[in-house]
Structure 1
Amino acid sequence: MSRLVARVPPVLSTLGLSVVSQNTQACAPKRAPTPAEWSLKLKEAQATGARATKHELAGSFDAAFDSYVKAAQAYIFLLRHCPSQQKKEELRALSTKLVERATRIKQAKKDLIRPLQRERLSIEEQDAVLERSSTVNGVRLPRWTTRDAVDQPFHPTDSQPTLSPLQLQQRACWRPAAEVFPTAQMVASSLRGRDIVQDNVSDCSLVSALIVGAEHHSKFGSKLGLSCLYPQGDDGLPRLSKTRRYTARFLVNGTWRMVTIDDNLPASESGQPMSASTKEQDQLWPALVEKAYLKMMGGYEFHGSNSGIDLHALSGWIPEHIALSSGHHSGKTWTRIFDAFEAGRCVLTLGTGKSEASLTPGLIASHSYAVLDLREGEGRREVELMNPWRTSTSSPTATPSNLSSTWTEDVRNALPRIDSGAETFVVDWDHLSSHFEALHLSWDPRSFRASDSVHCSIPRKAGGTNSGASTQLQLKVEHSPDRLPTEIWVLVSRHLHDKGDAEEFVGLNIVKSWRSSRKGRGATRVHDASSLTDNPFLLYRFDSDPDIDVYNLFVSYRGAAADPRFTLRAFADTPIKLEDGPPPLPYSQSLQGSWTEKTAGGNHACATFLNNPQYRVSLSSLPERPNLRGELSIRCDTSKDTPVNVKLVRRKGERIADFEERDVVAGASTYSYGFDSTHADDLFPESYTLVVSSFQPLHKTDFELRVESNLPLEVSLIPPEGAGMFARSARGSWGSPDGSEQVEPSFLLAVSKPTQLRIRLQAPEGPLPIALSIYSTSTDGAPHELVESTGPFSDAVCGVVTRLFRLPTSDSGYLIILRALPSTVQAEFHLLLYADQPVTLSPQR
């Protein structure tokens, strides 16, 4: 079936479309419009075009320009979903004329045309995002329609997926399915997941997905993993095609898409199958699903996926990745999964890591293992595993030993064995983390009563920091009358474009909206920091706050894509709605910054916290509205591996070394990788201190800061402590090796002229009660009179510091004495002195 691609007239991109966030009630295009919806959209486009002409004749050129562009966009949307070639030509001609009128208006009345406000969640805009994501690995993937579900005419020239080097090494060639599997039917009534075997194709994750899907079908009649293949019989299962041509329906890049294949399959020179099959080679569907999927993914040399990703494409089930790290809560995870598995709401596989050095002997690195069953009883929790890499009974190399899969004696001895069968192995749940790196789960989306989805692109700025970008959306929650918490799942799906994509990462931050709080104000991050991931899917689950109706969702991206796109889906048991983020505040300022050897201070528990970049944020009142309180929105983008935190503090725009919680105006206590944001309102028009910190002083990289406000603002970098002054530094220690009472360290300070100074004392190894005193000296060098001190002993993390004070000239100099408690303590100190004149600092004892 030939398809024409509806292309946007190139001139549309030159009409000055600027993205301005606007809330919209439009739903995401989850499917192609019905004939009735298409006709309604056509009438809407015609009415908009007619309205544009009236505006132009009336001299309202700005309104005419806006309406012409919107009408053209509507016609382009209709073009993409029009089955009639004749009608397509008519629509294309109409859209071209509308764009020409808009272009002429813009050229003739340039000063009268305001930037267009694009509603990026309108049906047309989301449809355009899906259209731009239609090509994956060089294969165009048309969106699925019901017309694709029937027998397709055979095309001898259909392109075939690229064979893997191993297949080519064995001189594989394409042969009709009837020759490769001469006795096979499409699907056997006795189908079990354990019947499916992986051949020498490196697609263990896909075959594991087929295994757990077929096993689920055998228990629940779900057709999981099978229903993607067409044509189908009345029972909804794939059947043999009369034309030897098949279509597969995959959920890819935000929508269901079609891949067309014929029934030619790879076979060795001797005629042996080189594809997924069943043990008896009596079923055709695994090889056909595998071929269609690998055609989409760039060929039979397939690496880097997991079963959750693969099963999502085959079925639309929600993928979840759980790292089996040392911090993994085994019991809590079992409780959550076991009941769902028993009820048929989830399936799962296990994956090993890349490192062979830390691998259990006998397991395969970067390999997927299917989970056939979970068992609980007699104080034990067990997992039945299957390795997809097995040999079919029809293979000439089949023997009783290799028919029992690749469970070697090494594996049987290394894993905590409970029970074993010919092809499966049962292990203890609590020992999984010792042998496997990750759990890959797939969840039935029908388990939730409500869901919503949107498709977006992330605006990129030329020269952005670390190839990063972020965008904001909102999730609105309609709570039940009793306002009980409900579990909400949010899934970010990064759109794919090429299997060679490298260094692309996506992240998600969820923040309670201060606008919707029923108890006080202030934005609060829902979850602790999590790394950006190169997995195309990122799932976050959280329990809703009954006092919060709106959550801000910040999706961040790191990578080289010029037009990064994603789909955001939310699931819950209460009504939910995804919408665009709030419009930007009218006043804004963007700044570039960095953490360097001198300015990477780390978190507030580090003695160097005061060295972090700090900014003075000054708000000014509006003359026409002098009583208007201020509102601030702050965002920071940095490298994907850097945990970042932004914190706004009441310190009148002065540099801080520490703070108390009561001083914090806005900012979470946790750090977030690559991106952080905060929001504050009800602010007086005055100056505040903004601290941008990385979690540890070892993080040294650039960042981009953006501050927005409803009031005029000025953001400026606060100079570091001692800026513009002469600096002296000394290090040493309190205490003596024998533990006897210490002699207090002291330094002689010589000034040749009246000098202003500030002195800081720190205990770098950790908080310690310390104090510093400055004395004038007598002729014999002994302390004479107290001149300045840091006050009582303090264990502040950043140490103690004097005020800015002045010392007159003294022939005998001044004595700086460093004290610590208890008197027998052994600890290092760091003395920092800043002066407006050259001074001499000499240790005394």
Structure 2
Amino acid sequence: MSDFTNATEAASLAVTFDQTGQTDKAVECYRTAARLLDRVCDNMSPERQAEIRKKVKEYLERATFLQEQKDRAQQEESERILQKCYFLMQQALDADEANLQDLALQLYTQAVEIAVNFKVTDGDVKARINGLAAQALDRAEEIKGIKKMGSLSITEPKQPTISPNRAQLQREQSVHLKVSGKQVYTEEEKEVLRMTSNINNNCFLPFMDVDLSEKFQYALPFEDRASTLKLSSKQEKEFDGWIRPHEVSSDPKLIVGDHVDCFSIKQTIVSDCSFVASLAVSALYEKRFNKKIITSIIYPKNKNKQPVYNPFGKYMVKLHLNGVRRKVIIDDRLPYSKYGRLLCSYSSNKNEFWVSMLEKAYMKVMGGYDFPGSNSGARLLKLKNPWSHLRWRGRYSELDTAHWSAALRAELRYDPDSAAQYDNGVFWIDFPSILNFFDVFYLNWNPELFKFTYCIHQKWDAGNGPVKDAYNISENPQFTLHVQGKGAVWLLLTRHITQIEDFQDNKEYITLLVYKNGRRVYYPYDPPPYIDGIRINSPHYLCKIIVGDSSCDRYTLVVSQYEKTRTIFYTLRAYATCPFSMAKIEAYPYTKNIKGEWSGRTAGGCENHRQTYPNNPKYIVTVPDTRTACHLVAELKGPKQYQIGVDARVEALDDPNLTAPFLKESSGPYRSGFVVLELNNLPSGRYILTPSTFYPGQEGPFFLELRSTCEITCESRN
């Protein structure tokens, strides 16, 4: 077989190996084909020689390119192995320092295993890996208390033992906020938090101390199999695949430098402007005031409590969801475009990935990158367009020469001429212009303003109370607030959301009503509320109470919902500048339900009609002899087209030496469909209850519910 024929066959094999990714064989065949063609080239015509030498050059260049590409890949893999060893060593040292020696031993062991089992060709990298392995092995031997370690095997690292008390789910508090009330949640609250942990078909459990020992190292790169994030339609048009940071960066880091930078944030085609804007505000606040708003919620961390890049591809983010901080686990795979760009928000520093990771954590909570969008929010405001371009062109923009005086430029440290050179989406705008373009905007608040906080997590069953609370709010969730001083109390009602559909099309309208007294309220406008909240379909409702010298110090807080159709879970949280206490107003524990009717003769009407009133239905309530006086509430419900009421009289007391607490008590003015009669401090004896309509002859059913602090009996007298 001639050299030319062999060269042709070698070239054909080279192309096949090249296409199938068999780099070594492709390089060998390309070079063989080039060598054989060069050998036969001298025996050909000048025109043919030029063509053959062009092919020889092409084959050699392709072989060189493939070899260099392979060498670069091996170098990058060596660097990644070194990164993994460094990461494991840092985690091991942190565990060692915290006296978690079982965990430290496992991490040291894994570092040695990686160094031994992976082949590294680069001499400098190999020397550094061997140095780390020796250090890890020495410390592992010290921990085990032996001279030599005969053999090592990879095992799953054991999590440190957490005492039951430490693992208890406790109310959250920060350095400056003091929790008012019980530290540990009630069983009812725990059930509420458990029920709303399932969000968009993923489970996000409340964050506890035990989560600080989360495992971040694996034999293979971590992949979050629990959640595949759905892409938006715009992403799908460009989508090429999922990539990890090391595939687009030669030196990936979570944070570049000593702080997060708000001006590096760039939004792409995900419609989460409000989230990205919040990131920018939080990053700027963290840098300016050194409050770790962002860096405190990302894991893993180094010994300086700074989030670090994880070469194993796993991160944990602590987000405030449905009433508490919750644990969100993600991998580091990011959507990538066929045009060579990330299809998510990112940092303008190509080696920095904290922006993309935080956004991915939030998108996991929201069900995917197909985020439905949201609305987000001085007479002069500095704004940033999350898209990092396209600025305001009106008053107080960099183009406005009429309003930017020298004094104002100096005060705001702003140079319109310099700003005009680069459009980063940051601009100044006056408040009247804001009102022309925005219906709603939100402001971040300074948590340092408050010293005290407390929260309660509750459930409101759909079957409790009427669909509308226009007449009756007795069964609405109610809470008592006692303010012990002067100052401000902010109340935040948050409805828990577990499905993206609910977020997209929120049909639940909630609010908070505030009354002055601290006792249970039965009628929405008797007495009128101190704060009559507006029912809105936002998951959050916020109101404030200012307590001064002449102010009331006890309040009743009532959760209200417009046209209640389903069970809701919610959190009521208070922030205050002075001490306070807040607790749920529990219903009396004993209940009697009576169904009756006004019909014919028994539809006697009110006491104005003396001849027919005695014909109304009557019920004998017997109060037993107890150590403490009995409290009783009678709620009468009837047709809304009737004005109804209920009266109480003392028939007899068990102790003849006692004076009757009253001769007659009534529910007051007759009301449409619903009235309440409160009877307090009842001594043992028998009492007669008479429900009635205002006019005689008004027939229809009624329901009489008796709630009491002791077990009573009730029987009909008619």
TM-score band, normalised by shorter chain:
0.5 to 0.7
CA distance in 2, matches of 1:706, 1:301: 49
Of structures 1 and 2, the larger Rg is shown by 2
Q: Which residue of 1 aligns with 2:380?
A: 382
Q: 1:586 to 1:568 in 2, by over 3 A?
A: same
Q: 1:592 to 1:459 in 2, by over 3 A?
A: farther
Task: Select the residue among 190, 193, 209 that pairs with 2:262.
Answer: 193
Within a 5 Å distance, the mapping from 1:448-487 to structure 2 comes to: 448-461=450-463, 464-466=466-468, 470-479=476-485, 485-487=486-488
Question: Greater CA deviation, 151-160 or 433-442?
Answer: 151-160
Task: Select the residue among 511, 517, 535 that pairs with 2:538.
Answer: 535
* Code of the aligned partner of 2:246: A
CA distance in 1, matches of 2:689, 2:396: 65
Task: Select the residue among 657, 662, 669 that pairs with 1:689.
Answer: 669
Q: 1:296 to 1:492 in 2, by over 3 A?
A: same
Secondary structure, in 3 states, of the residue corresponding to 1:211? helix
Question: Greater CA deviation, 461-470 or 182-191?
Answer: 461-470
CA distance in 2, matches of 1:272, 1:385: 26
Q: Which residue of 1 aligns with 2:497?
A: 496
Secondary structure, in 3 states, of the residue corresponding to 1:442? coil
Please tell me whether the aligned partners of residues 254 and 493 of structure 1 are also in contact (alpha carbons under 8 angstroms). Answer: yes
* Code of the aligned partner of 1:257: R
Please tell me whether the aligned partners of residues 503 and 558 of structure 1 are also in contact (alpha carbons under 8 angstroms). Answer: no
CA apart distance, 1:218:
1.9
CA distance in 2, matches of 1:462, 1:220: 47
Q: Which residue of 1 aligns with 2:649?
A: 620
CA distance in 2, matches of 1:172, 1:708: 69
CA apart distance, 1:388:
0.5
Secondary structure, in 3 states, of the residue corresponding to 1:206? helix
CA apart distance, 1:200:
0.4
Q: Which residue of 1 aligns with 2:637?
A: 591
Q: 1:560 to 1:183 in 2, by over 3 A?
A: farther
Q: 1:413 to 1:614 in 2, by over 3 A?
A: farther
Give ranges in structure 2 of 5+ residues lacking alignment. 1-160, 171-181, 405-415, 589-630, 681-687, 700-718
Secondary structure, in 3 states, of the residue corresponding to 1:207? helix
Please tell me whether the aligned partners of residues 416 and 431 of structure 1 are also in contact (alpha carbons under 8 angstroms). Answer: no
Please tell me whether the aligned partners of residues 187 and 283 of structure 1 are also in contact (alpha carbons under 8 angstroms). Answer: yes
Within a 5 Å distance, the mapping from 1:215-364 to structure 2 comes to: 215-307=284-376, 350=377
What percentage of aligned pairs have identical amino acids?
Answer: 24
Task: Select the residue among 258, 273, 287 that pairs with 1:204.
Answer: 273
User: What RMSD, in angstroms, separates the aligned Cα atoms of the two structures?
Assistant: 3.9
Query: So what's the TM-score if we normalise by structure 2?
Result: 0.54
Q: Which residue of 2 aligns with 1:649?
A: none
Q: Which residue of 2 aligns with 1:707?
A: 676
1:129 aligns with 2:192: yes
CA distance in 2, matches of 1:416, 1:495: 48
Q: Which residue of 1 aligns with 2:165?
A: 37
CA distance in 1, matches of 2:230, 2:507: 24
Q: Which residue of 2 aligns with 1:88?
A: none
Task: Select the residue among 431, 443, 446 that pairs with 2:445.
Answer: 443
1:565 aligns with 2:632: no
Q: 1:513 to 1:296 in 2, by over 3 A?
A: same
CA apart distance, 1:514:
6.2
CA distance in 1, matches of 2:511, 2:312: 45
Secondary structure, in 3 states, of the residue corresponding to 2:350? coil
* Code of the aligned partner of 1:688: G
Query: So what's the TM-score if we normalise by structure 1?
Result: 0.47
State the aligned residue count: 439
Q: 1:500 to 1:713 in 2, by over 3 A?
A: farther
CA distance in 2, matches of 1:629, 1:442: 55
Within a 5 Å distance, the mapping from 1:73-84 to structure 2 comes to: none
* Code of the aligned partner of 1:689: P
Deviation digits for residues 139-193 of structure 1 (CA, Å, limit 9, x no counterpart): 1112223443455244335233211111112234211122245554311336431
CA distance in 2, matches of 1:222, 1:616: 59
CA apart distance, 1:717:
4.5
Q: Which residue of 2 aligns with 1:179?
A: 247
CA distance in 1, matches of 2:585, 2:563: 23
CA distance in 2, matches of 1:416, 1:531: 42
Q: 1:560 to 1:615 in 2, by over 3 A?
A: closer
Q: Which residue of 2 aligns with 1:695?
A: none
More helix as a share of residues: 2
Give ranges in structure 1 of 5+ residues lacking alignment. 1-32, 42-76, 79-118, 308-349, 351-373, 375-380, 391-403, 480-484, 517-521, 600-612, 631-683, 693-703, 725-845
Please tell me whether the aligned partners of residues 233 and 239 of structure 1 are also in contact (alpha carbons under 8 angstroms). Answer: yes
* Code of the aligned partner of 1:573: T
Within a 5 Å distance, the mapping from 1:621-700 to structure 2 comes to: 621=650, 623-624=652-653, 627-628=660-661, 685-686=665-666, 688-691=668-671
1:140 aligns with 2:175: no
Secondary structure, in 3 states, of the residue corresponding to 2:555? strand
Within a 5 Å distance, the mapping from 1:421-432 to structure 2 comes to: 421=419, 422=423, 423-432=425-434
Please tell me whether the aligned partners of residues 392 and 429 of structure 2 are also in contact (alpha carbons under 8 angstroms). Answer: no
Q: Which residue of 1 aligns with 2:223?
A: 156
CA distance in 1, matches of 2:552, 2:395: 53
Secondary structure, in 3 states, of the residue corresponding to 1:383? strand
Q: 1:226 to 1:716 in 2, by over 3 A?
A: farther
More strand as a share of residues: 1
Q: 1:192 to 1:417 in 2, by over 3 A?
A: farther
* Code of the aligned partner of 2:547: S
Please tell me whether the aligned partners of residues 467 and 564 of structure 2 are also in contact (alpha carbons under 8 angstroms). Answer: no
Q: Which residue of 1 aligns with 2:619?
A: none
Q: 1:304 to 1:549 in 2, by over 3 A?
A: same
CA distance in 1, matches of 2:367, 2:309: 25
* Code of the aligned partner of 2:350: Q
